[in-house]
Amino acid sequence: MPTTPPARISPAASAAAGIGIEIRGLSRTFAGNVQVLSKLDLSVSAGEFLAILGPSGCGKSTLLRLIAGLDRPDSGSVRLLGDAASAAGAGQLPVAYVFQDAHLLPWRSVMHNVALPLELMGQAKAARLQAAAAAIAKVGLIDAMRRYPSQLSGGMRMRVSLARALVTRPRLLLLDEPFAALDEITRQRLDEDLRQLWMDSGMTVLFVTHSTPEATFLAQRAVVFSGRPARLLADMSIHLPPWRDAALRGTSQFAAASEGIYRALRQSQS
């Protein structure tokens, strides 16, 4: 069983770094009267790592887009709790989004792809490049920061996408199946890296996935949605040690936690 290393972020620090989310009565219908979300209620605590699962097309990605402000609900509300609203008003970005595709600009190096959000915010060149280098170091790509996307593997491109999200020091990180297209070993390594980044930063993380082992490894809590319009079928805490590594995946404790999420996911598609 994995043991907890001595230097890890405290729960108090985690709550201070992340922001909470309160969703009430959230509804969204697309063209053709396709109702994706209907009066959805969901609360996420500051500093929490939440996995979101459910059938394809049930509204998981739509939910992330609504939280990020990339789409508007037909009714209901999404509230970022604490001082998140005032931070946004001050020109800071408390929310970052990582998509399934890395969406890197092919004519920009790793360094300049990662620095792009700060450039768009108007930050001075020296400051944004320094921040970009720090974010690149966090994802283990310091030796690749002068390379271009065409020179990177799929896993490396996703690390760059993650560094670009982290460079703004977000308090809420939204990830929409970011590792789904990668081979299993690369995916598990990135899961380990993401879990460590979350523990080090204390930000709030919402992670959409179809993989029950991935949700089990990463999250403190998992919610499972029904087919559309999405309703909450299951909301379960994941009782595993805070420090998780590859060895944990082979334990009976991990298998039991994953099985509980899998049963709920099976129900969502019946």
pLDDT tens string, the chain, 270 residues long: the values are 333 333 343 443 444 588 999 999 999 999 888 889 989 999 999 999 999 999 888 889 999 999 998 999 999 999 998 665 444 443 455 899 998 888 999 999 999 999 999 999 999 999 999 999 999 999 999 999 999 999 999 999 999 999 999 999 999 999 999 998 889 999 999 999 999 999 998 999 999 999 999 999 999 999 999 888 888 999 999 999 998 999 999 999 999 999 999 998 888 776
Residue 270: predicted pLDDT: 65
Alpha carbons 220 and 240: distance in angstroms, whole number:
8
Residue 181: predicted pLDDT: 85
* DSSP at 177: S
**Alpha helices in 29-140, H assignment, sequence order:** 60-68, 84-89, 110-120, 125-138
Q: C-alpha distances in angstroms, 70 versus 13, 64, 204, 229? A: 29, 9, 18, 20
Residue 84: predicted pLDDT: 53
CB 215 within 8 Å of CB 260: no
Three-state secondary structure call for residue 187: helix
The pair of three-digit structure tokens given for residue 38, joined into one six-digit string: 């209907």
What size, in residues, is the chain?
270
Query: pTM to 2 decimals?
Result: 0.88
State residue 220 phi and psi, 5-degree precision: -90, -25
Residue 11: predicted pLDDT: 40
The pair of three-digit structure tokens given for residue 77, joined into one six-digit string: 């509300």
Alpha carbons 47 and 9: distance in angstroms, whole number:
11
Q: Which of 249, 246, 185 is nearest to 216 (CA)?
A: 249
Q: Which of 151, 181, 176 is nearest to 162 (CA)?
A: 176
Residue 269: predicted pLDDT: 75
Q: Which of 102, 82, 76, 111 is nearest to 94 (CA)?
A: 82
Over residues 204-250, the pLDDT tens digits come to: 999 999 999 999 999 999 999 988 888 899 999 999 999 899 999 99
